[in-house]
Amino acid sequence: TVQRPSEVQESRLLLPIVAEEQPIMEAILLNPVVIICGETGSGKTTQVPQFLYEAGFGMPGSDNPGMIGVTQPRRVAAMSMASRVAHELSLTSSKVSYQIRYDGTVSPDTSIKFMTDGVLLRELATDFLLTKYSVIIIDEAHERSINTDILIGVLSRVLKLREDMWKDGKDGAKPLRLVIMSATLRVSDFAENKALFPLPPPIINVAARQHPVTIHFSRRTSSDYVNEAIRKVGKIHTRLPPGGILVFLTGQNEINGVCRRLEGMFGKKALSNRNLKTAVISPTDTISHVALNQADIEAEEMELGFDGLEEIPSGDEGDEFDVDDLESDDDGRALDEELDLIAAETESFVHIVPLYSLLPSDKQMKVFATPPPNSRLVVVSTNIAETSLTIPGIRYVVDCGRAKERCYDISSGMQSFQVTWVSKASAAQRAGRAGRTGSGHCYRLYSSALFEHHFDKFTQPEILRTPIEGIVLQMKSMHIDVVANFPFPTSPDRNMLRKAEKLLIMLGALGSPTAGLVAGASAVGGGITALGKSMALFPLHPRFSRMLVSGQQHGCLPYVIAVVAALAVGDPFIHEEGLATDDDGDDSSSEAVRARRKAYFQTMATHSSLGNSISDVFKILSVVGAYEYAGGGHKFCADHFVRLKMMEEIHKLRSQISNIIEASFLGTSAMFTPQLPPPSDLQLKSLRQLMTSAFIDQVAIRKDLVDQNTESGTQYSMAKGIPYRAMGIDEDVFLHPSSVLASASPPQYIIYTEVVRTSRAWLKGLTMINPS
């Protein structure tokens, strides 16, 4: 009954998993839960849904009429896999569909539905029994994303409920099946977890068909991995036999920069120019060294976060790596000259394809297209290509060894995206990409010593390294009341759980246990409140959701949205210390530096003046307002010392939050208008109250007041160097020099949104509580 294009027929037969169709289907039909482990590229994602489809799953009127649901941690994968499977089965995109947060092709006759894991989690909140599905495939379970972990926990219960209903013969109820798929054999957290699955599910291992990959470490580890990657690709291209090159980098900006430079050096145009011996090859692109190295925060992760239940990451500068940094003395220009020489050696050109989540999907599909004749495929990717997408024809892997990861600062409760070393397991996966079609080579842009001593064995499950307030709130909104008893594949830290519940009670999202007692009701507290239910609509940190939900007085909402978006994306200002290096370095005469510093301080003073320098948040609100009035753009950002990318993200997030509000309970005049008139004093006052109640547990008190226990305290004229004390932090803390409060007389009480630890513990994102 299934029609496949002939080229698909052929390539399918080469996939190891196709040989296992029968045992896989038998296991699925005989067991409620089955685990499938198979090397990346073995065919799990594209074939297992087809096995199910051919066995009648997702067909109305059959034994298993409900849809085949497949979850993916990433949007790209959900979209591209849906279209691939539709193609393989010669079916339409309404029959084999995808659904991501704001987009999808699902229709009433959808049989196979690919979706992000966040989408399925949200469906559970409205249809806990998942009645529309007959089987759920949780893909990429080895990644241990928080959403995947929670889904597996919730589904273990849904399976039981569906089975009971079916056994009781409840109106047409059918059982639900669960298939967990992993690219690694490390599945004991699922398979041997008795709380999760009392009967251990069968594990099917798909034989690997992997060719040997030779690993080459760098002698030393350079912090300038971007240029190292370019150099390596150049050498491979000109000196080594044909075969695609896959480069792992950390983010969109980096990837685009590298693609432009490679194109300029080794692209088709560069080759024909060189052959014509006409134009002098110009030093390609002018992406500065600095811009490439800066770990700007990525809109792509923000998007990802917005799809799921995770909070929106806060922007951060990211880490700098200076381990063994001995090789990075070449600047971009020296590299260009070197590449120019290398490029002269070759007669073929490179066909370059970038790959990251925010790339439009038609561009993403380019990785699967056959490269033009006389060219070598070069894919420059984030860790998307590590296990989610298998690119054909790759023979060389260049691995920078890093990835952008969500990091959580436990003391501040804030999170950020930082470039960190990947795990040994990830590095092995990356290397494996070179051995799909034949033997291959992996070039690691770091030393073997670094790998041995600084790389973790495995990536920690996300639930252990992210704040869980948001997820706890989501779970409560699914009526999972005793979160501590939830069958997590890996349980979060008990203290973190307790802390999360405490915060949610403080924010009014959960009822406090005593309230029930007072009312004479049951002693079981901690249930979600009406306020909490509204808060759960936002995939933001609950502190921010709380501000949005109660931010309606005095026409404040548009300002609250702007403030929340800015806080979630992060402080967009370039700080004083970044001034000297952050710009077109040529202009370094002391005259120019002085002028620039002067302009900087003037601009900072202008934005700080909103609300009379009582809050860093107002300073950001001021620049967000000015940015929208100016119509955005590079020039505005340069003149106002803010990062364009972050300003763009704030803009986008404002519109997304407004959409959620518009589409939900609040439904008021939240309609997104980017330009905001300056807030009134009354509005500023409300904003400050909202900030205070959202961060009331993050108060710092001037130390002299704590020590002397008096009201007046000492008189200071500058906050610089004045110690404060903050709850839960056992050392003196200081106002960060970039704060608008740091250069005035030190306030008695402040709330802070972040603690950053360098030589001292610095408080950031400050708001004065009692301006005297």
Task: Estimate the share of the chain in helix, then strand, then coil, as percent rounded to the nearest 5.
Answer: 45, 15, 40
Shortest Å, Cβ 13 to ligand ADP:
12
How far apart are the C-alpha atoms of 660 and 136, rounded to whole Å? 27
Shortest Å, Cβ 356 to Mg ion:
18
The binder of 99, among Mg ion, ligand ADP, none, by C-beta within 5 to 8 A per type, is none
Tell me which residue has its CB nearest to Mg ion.
Answer: 45
Query: What value does the CA radius of gyration of the chain take, rounded to a whole number of Å?
Result: 28
Alpha helices in 467-552 (DSSP H): 469-477, 494-506, 513-518, 530-535, 542-549
- Smallest CA-to-CA distance from 560 within 618, 629, 647 is with 618
Tell which one of 56, 200, 392, 678 touches ligand ADP (CB under 6 A): 392
Torsion of the alpha carbons at 401, 406, 409 and 415, rounded to the nearest 10:
140
Q: Kindly state whether residue 416 participates in binding ligand ADP, applying the rule CB under 6 A.
A: no
How far apart are the C-alpha atoms of 248 and 114, rounded to whole Å? 26
Question: Which of 44/406 has CB closer to Mg ion?
Answer: 44
Q: Kindly state whether residue 477 participates in binding Mg ion, applying the rule CB under 5 A.
A: no
What would the two tokens of residue 148 be?
């995947």
Q: Are 524 and 586 in contact (CB under 8 A)?
A: no
The SS3 of residue 323 is coil
Stretch that binds Mg ion, among 15-23, 44-52, 437-445, 736-744 (CB under 5 A): 44-52
Shortest Å, Cβ 97 to Mg ion:
18
How far apart are the C-alpha atoms of 771 and 748, rounded to whole Å? 9
Q: Kindly state whether residue 415 participates in binding ligand ADP, applying the rule CB under 6 A.
A: no
**Partner residues linked to 415 by β-bridges:** 408
- Smallest CA-to-CA distance from 176 within 164, 163, 189 is with 163
Q: Kindly state whether residue 656 participates in binding ligand ADP, applying the rule CB under 6 A.
A: no
Size of the site for ligand ADP (CB under 6 A): 15
Q: Kindly state whether residue 390 participates in binding ligand ADP, applying the rule CB under 6 A.
A: yes
Q: Kindly state whether residue 80 participates in binding Mg ion, applying the rule CB under 5 A.
A: no
The binder of 368, among ligand ADP, Mg ion, none, by C-beta within 5 to 8 A per type, is ligand ADP
Shortest Å, Cβ 81 to Mg ion:
7
**Partner residues linked to 377 by β-bridges:** 351
Q: Kindly state whether residue 45 participates in binding Mg ion, applying the rule CB under 5 A.
A: yes
Tell which one of 20, 46, 364, 627 touches ligand ADP (CB under 6 A): 46
Task: Give the other-Cβ count within 10 Å of 217's Cβ.
Answer: 18
The amino acid occupying position 349 is: F
The amino acid occupying position 234 is: G
- Distances 135 to 68, 306, 446 between C-alpha atoms, Å: 5, 25, 43
Alpha helices in 192-298 (DSSP H): 225-239, 252-266, 268-276, 289-293
The alpha carbon of 28 is separated from its chain's Cα centroid by a whole number of angstroms, namely: 32
Tell which one of 20, 37, 44, 451 touches ligand ADP (CB under 6 A): 44
Shortest Å, Cβ 55 to ligand ADP:
18
Alpha helices in 168-243 (DSSP H): 188-191, 225-239
Question: Which of 19/521 has CB closer to Mg ion?
Answer: 19
Task: Give the other-Cβ count within 10 Å of 513's Cβ.
Answer: 14
Shortest Å, Cβ 441 to ligand ADP:
19
The binder of 382, among ligand ADP, Mg ion, none, by C-beta within 5 to 8 A per type, is none
Question: Which of 101/436 has CB closer to ligand ADP?
Answer: 436
DSSP per-residue string spanning 438-484: S-EEEEESS-HHHHHHHS-SSPPPGGGTS--HHHHHHHHHTT---GG
Interface of this chain with ligand ADP, residues 360 to 389, rule: CB under 6 A: 368
Residue 396 phi, psi dihedral angles, 5° rounding? -125, 135
Q: Report the side by side order of strands in the sheet with 754-757.
A: 754-757, 761-764, 733-735, 724-726, 699-702, 749-751, 767-768
Tell which one of 42, 111, 284, 474 touches ligand ADP (CB under 6 A): 42
Strands 375-381 and 203-206: unpaired
Interface of this chain with ligand ADP, residues 70 to 129, rule: CB under 6 A: 80, 84
**Partner residues linked to 349 by β-bridges:** 375
Stretch that binds Mg ion, among 42-50, 344-352, 409-417, 699-707 (CB under 5 A): 42-50
Stretch that binds Mg ion, among 37-45, 416-424, 565-573, 752-760 (CB under 5 A): 37-45
- Smallest CA-to-CA distance from 536 within 691, 311, 300, 696 is with 311
How far apart are the C-alpha atoms of 154 and 172, rounded to whole Å? 22
Shortest Å, Cβ 386 to Mg ion:
11
Q: Kindly state whether residue 50 participates in binding ligand ADP, applying the rule CB under 6 A.
A: no
Question: Which of 363/757 has CB closer to ligand ADP?
Answer: 363
The binder of 46, among Mg ion, ligand ADP, none, by C-beta within 5 to 8 A per type, is ligand ADP
Stretch that binds Mg ion, among 36-44, 239-247, 550-558, 691-699 (CB under 5 A): 36-44
Shortest Å, Cβ 378 to Mg ion:
22
Shortest Å, Cβ 39 to ligand ADP:
7
Stretch that binds ligand ADP, among 44-52, 288-296, 470-478, 719-727 (CB under 6 A): 44-52
Q: Kindly state whether residue 45 participates in binding ligand ADP, applying the rule CB under 6 A.
A: yes
Interface of this chain with ligand ADP, residues 548 to 607, rule: CB under 6 A: none
Q: Kindly state whether residue 412 participates in binding Mg ion, applying the rule CB under 5 A.
A: no
Interface of this chain with ligand ADP, residues 676 to 705, rule: CB under 6 A: none
Shortest Å, Cβ 430 to ligand ADP:
14
Q: Are 627 and 636 in contact (CB under 8 A)?
A: yes
Tell which one of 32, 43, 243, 313 touches ligand ADP (CB under 6 A): 43
The binder of 15, among ligand ADP, Mg ion, none, by C-beta within 5 to 8 A per type, is ligand ADP
The binder of 529, among Mg ion, ligand ADP, none, by C-beta within 5 to 8 A per type, is none
How far apart are the C-alpha atoms of 590 and 521, rounded to whole Å? 72
Fill in the per-residue mask, 742 to 761: x = in contact with Mg ion (CB under 5 A), - = not in contact. --------------------
The binder of 308, among Mg ion, ligand ADP, none, by C-beta within 5 to 8 A per type, is none
Shortest Å, Cβ 32 to ligand ADP:
22
Shortest Å, Cβ 11 to ligand ADP:
7
SS (H, E, C) 387-425: HCCCCCCEEEEEECCEEEEEEEECCCCEEEEEEEECCHH
Q: Kindly state whether residue 658 participates in binding Mg ion, applying the rule CB under 5 A.
A: no
How far apart are the C-alpha atoms of 430 and 442, rounded to whole Å? 8
Shortest Å, Cβ 353 to Mg ion:
19
Tell which one of 41, 49, 542, 746 touches ligand ADP (CB under 6 A): 41
Q: Kindly state whether residue 16 participates in binding ligand ADP, applying the rule CB under 6 A.
A: no
Residue 580 phi, psi dihedral angles, 5° rounding? -60, -40
Residues that bind ligand ADP (CB under 6 A): 15, 38, 40-47, 80, 84, 368, 390, 392
Residues that bind Mg ion (CB under 5 A): 44-45
